[in-house]
Structure 1
Amino acid sequence: MNILSGIPYWWLSGFYFFYFALVGALNPYLGLYFSDIGLTAYEIGLINAVFIGTKIVAPNVWGWLCDYTGQRLRIITLGSFLATLFFSGMFFWETLLPLLIVTFLYSFFWNAILSQFDTVTVQYLSKDSHHYSHIRVWGSIGFIVSVVLLGFVFDLISIRYLIPVSWGLLLFIWLSGLRVKEPPKNAVESDHHHWLEVVKRPMVVAFLAAAFLLQFGFGAYYSFFSLYLENYHYSRSMIGLLWALGVVAEVLLFVVMHKIMPRVGVAYLLFWSLLLTAIRWFLTAYYVDHLWVLIFSQCIHALSFGACHAACIELIRCFFKGKNAGQGNALYSSMTFGLGGALGAFSSGLLWDINPKQLFVVSGLALLLAAAIVWVGLCTKNRYESLNR
C-alpha cells in the first residue's frame, strides 16, 4: 500500500463510496419504486433505457471537454452539482413524461462523471495502475452498505423513501468531489496518435465489441433482477442480500486483483470472466427458484463486474494515453454502459411480458459471443504478445 501514500487515497475512495452507494440504491430498488407508483414494465424499461442511454452522448461530450480544457475535476464537480439539482424533480412528478425528462436531465450529468473520475484515479496511479482496485474497492463497499441497509429498510417502510435517500447520496458525491485536486502533470503519459486512429485498431474494436455485449447482458440484471426475484416470492431484504452478495465477492477479488492481473494477463482474465458470466446468466434464468444455485451465480459477480471492469480499465490505459485518456474512458462508457446497457434494458422491457426467463437467456448468449470475440481479438498469440509489449 506504500504506492498509494503519495495520492489523495481517502478522497478518491470517498467519491467512489458515495457514487456506488447511489448505484446500490437505484439499481435494485428504482424499478420497485416505479412499479409502486403505477408504471408498467414497458414504461420502466423505457425510463431505464433513457437513463442508460444518456451515457451514449454525455461521456463523449464531457470527455472531449475535459481533455480540451484540462480542468477535469472542476467539470466533474459541476456535473455532480447539476445532477443533484435536476434529480430534485423526482420529488414532484410520478407520471411517465415528466419522469423521462427528469431522468434525461440528471443522468446526462451523473452518467458522465464516473469515466472522467476513473481517468483522474489512473493518472494519479500512473504506472502503478494495477493498484486501481485498491481505490475502486470502496465503491463496492458503498454499494454493499447501501443495498443491504435499504433492503431491510424497505421491508419496514415505503419504497417511496428511495428518492430522498438517493438525493442525499448525490449531494455527498458532489461534496466529496470538491476535495480532490487535479493529478500532477508528470503523472500523465503522452501519445501522439489521435484517439480516432486508436479506435480503428482491430484489438480496440474487439475490446469495445466485447464490452458492449457485456453491458447488453447486464441490462436485464440492472433493470429487472429485483422484480424477477419478487415474482418468485423473495422478500426485499433477501433481494438486497443477494445483490450485496455479488458485490462482497467483487470486493474480495478487488483486494487481490493487483496480484492476479499480472500473472493471468489482462486478455485471458477478461476472456474467462466473460465465459463464466454467460454461465451465471443461464443459471439465473433456469434455477432462480433454487436459492443455493442463485447464491453461487451471484458469487460469479466477482468476475462479471470486478474482474471485467478492472481488465477494461487496464486495457483503456494501454490503448488510450496522454490527452486521449479522457476520451478513451468516455468512449468506453458510452459504447458499453451507454449503448449496450440501453439496448439491454429496452429489449428486456419488451421480453418481460413474454417470458421473464428469456431476459437472462439472451444475456447468456450475448456473453458467449463476447467471450468468443475476446478470444479471437485479444488472446491469439500475435495480438496477445503485442498487447503485453
Structure 2
Amino acid sequence: MRPFAWLSLFLVAIYFVYGAYIPFWSLWLASRDLSADQIGLLIGVGLAIRFAGQLLIMGKANRASLLIPACRYLALASAVCFLLFYGVSGFWSILALMLVANFIYPTLLPLSEALAARMMLQVKLDYGRVRLWGSAAFILGSMLVGALVKQSGADWVLHTMIIGLLALILCTWLPMSPAPQDAISSGQKTGFLPLLRQKPFLMFLLVVSLLQGSHAAYYGFSALHWKAHGYAENVIGYLWAAGVVAEILMFAISKRLFSRIGYQQMFLIGAVGCVIRWTILASTTALPWLVIAQLLHAVTFCVSHLAAVRYMTQQMPSDQLIPAQTLYAALPTGMFTAVLTMLSGVAYQHSGGMAFWGMAVLVLPVFVLRVPGQKKPLSTHVS
C-alpha cells in the first residue's frame, strides 16, 4: 500500500478513537460519580504520563525502520488497556488504569507524525492532505458518540473506543510500500539531549507549548461546561465536529495558503486565533458564538500545528526529526498541557467558564517571542 493510503487509514483509526475520547471521556468519568477536580486530575495525570511513555518508547523506536513495528505492538497493547476499563470502579482504580493506558496509546500520535515527516522527505508526501483524513475520522467519532451517549448513556464512549482500537490493530498490519527508510546521517549528534541544548529548539518548544497548552481547558472541560448550560450531548458532538470540519478545510488548502508564509508568521496567526477563541468561550455560551469559536479551531490548533511541522521538517536535520517529533509530542502537548489541565480543573471547579480567560492570557507571550532558524547541512534535504 502506498504511503499516502497507509497513513490516511492509520490516522483515520487513531483519530476515530480520539473523537470519542477527547470530547467525551470527561462525561464517562463523570458517569462514575467523579467530581470536576478529580476529573481534571485524572486527565492531567494521563497527559503527564504521556511524557514518560513517549520519551521511553520513541527513544527506542528512534529509526524510521522501527516505526511501523512499534505501531503494531502499541495498537494491540492499547486495546487491551482500554478493555480493562470495563472492570474498574472508584477513583484510585481508574487512576491506575489511566496511567497505563496513557503511557501506551498516545505514543501512536508522535509515531504517526514521525512516519509522516519521514515520508514527506522520502516521497514528497503532502502532509496536510494526509492529516485531514484523521480530522475527518475525529468528526465521525465525536458525532457518533454524541448521538450514542444521548440515546444510550456514557458507556458508549468506551464501547466506541474499543471498536476503533480493533480497527487500528488491523491497519497497522497492512504493508507500506515503499517502507520508511532510515535517514542519512547529518554528522551531528542525535537524541533528546543534543536537541535540548539548542537554544532555537528550546524557543520552539516554548512557543508551541503556549499555543497548544492553551487548549487545556477546552479539551478537558468544554463538554462539561456546555452540558451544564443546557446543551445535549449530540449538540456538543456537533460543536466539536464543526471545529474539526474547519480543521479539515485548513489542512486541505494549507499547502497553497501558506506557501509564501513562514513558520514564524504562522505562529502569530495561531496566537491571534487563540486569544479570540478563548475570550469567546469565557464570555458566552450562546450557540452562534460557540460555532464561531469552534471554527477558529482551524487557526488555534491547525495553523499552530502546521507551523510546528514546517519548522521541524525545514529546520531540523532529517536524522533529528524523530527526536524532535517526540519532544514536540511529549512536552508541549504532553507535560505542559497536563499541568494546565490539572490547573484548569481546579479553576473550573471554582469559577466555571472563567477558566478560559487563563488560556487567553497564556498565549500573549507568543506575540513577542521569536523562533530562530537553524542551519543544517544541504544533504539532509533529500535522502
Q: Same fold (TM over 0.5)?
A: yes
Q: Does the 8 Å CA contact 1:36/1:159 hold for their aligned counterparts?
A: yes
- Determine if the alignment matches structure 1 residue 81 to structure 2 residue 76: yes
Cα distance in 1 between the residues matched to 2:287 and 2:180: 51
1:214: Cα distance to partner?
Answer: 2.0
Distance change in 2, residues 1:109/1:320 (3 Å): farther
Counterpart of 2:217, as a letter, is A
Partner of 1:298: 294
Distance change in 2, residues 1:7/1:265 (3 Å): farther
1:130: Cα distance to partner?
Answer: 7.4
Distance change in 2, residues 1:184/1:37 (3 Å): closer
Q: Does the 8 Å CA contact 1:212/1:339 hold for their aligned counterparts?
A: no
Partner of 1:230: 227
- Determine if the alignment matches structure 1 residue 11 to structure 2 residue 6: yes
Which of these residues, 147, 150, 156, is aligned with residue 151 of structure 2?
A: 156
1:199: Cα distance to partner?
Answer: 3.1
Partner of 2:270: 273
**Structure 1 length-normalised TM:** 0.90
1:314: Cα distance to partner?
Answer: 1.9
Q: Does the 8 Å CA contact 1:21/1:139 hold for their aligned counterparts?
A: yes
Deviations 1:58-86 (A, max 9, x none): 11112221116942211121111111111
Distance change in 2, residues 1:72/1:187 (3 Å): closer
Counterpart of 2:127, as a letter, is Y
Cα distance in 2 between the residues matched to 1:291 and 1:219: 21
Deviations 1:33-63 (A, max 9, x none): 1112201111111110122112211111122
Cα distance in 2 between the residues matched to 1:229 and 1:241: 12
Q: Give the aligned CA root-mean-square deviation in angstroms.
A: 2.2
- Determine if the alignment matches structure 1 residue 109 to structure 2 residue 115: no
1:183: Cα distance to partner?
Answer: 5.4
Counterpart of 1:57, as a letter, is A
Deviations 1:78-129 (A, max 9, x none): 1111111111111001211111111111221111121122111221221776
Which of these residues, 33, 49, 53, is aligned with residue 58 of structure 1?
A: 53
- Determine if the alignment matches structure 1 residue 324 to structure 2 residue 320: yes
Q: Does the 8 Å CA contact 2:270/2:303 hold for their aligned counterparts?
A: yes
Partner of 2:310: 314
Partner of 2:337: 341
Cα distance in 2 between the residues matched to 1:252 and 1:364: 24
Distance change in 2, residues 1:186/1:279 (3 Å): same
Cα distance in 1 between the residues matched to 2:9 and 2:63: 27
Describe the SS at the equivalent of 1:194.
coil
Cα distance in 2 between the residues matched to 1:309 and 1:161: 30
Distance change in 2, residues 1:384/1:174 (3 Å): same
Cα distance in 1 between the residues matched to 2:360 and 2:255: 28
Q: Does the 8 Å CA contact 2:64/2:183 hold for their aligned counterparts?
A: no
Describe the SS at the equivalent of 2:62.
helix
Counterpart of 2:13, as a letter, is F
**Structure 2 length-normalised TM:** 0.92
Q: Does the 8 Å CA contact 2:64/2:181 hold for their aligned counterparts?
A: no
Counterpart of 2:351, as a letter, is N
- Determine if the alignment matches structure 1 residue 253 to structure 2 residue 257: no
Distance change in 2, residues 1:386/1:262 (3 Å): farther
| Structure 1: runs of 5 or more not aligned | 1-5
Partner of 1:212: 209
Q: Of Structure 1 and Structure 2, which has the larger fraction of its residues in helix?
A: 1
Cα distance in 1 between the residues matched to 2:64 and 2:5: 26
Cα distance in 2 between the residues matched to 1:178 and 1:127: 21
Partner of 1:40: 35
Which of these residues, 355, 360, 370, is aligned with residue 359 of structure 1?
A: 355
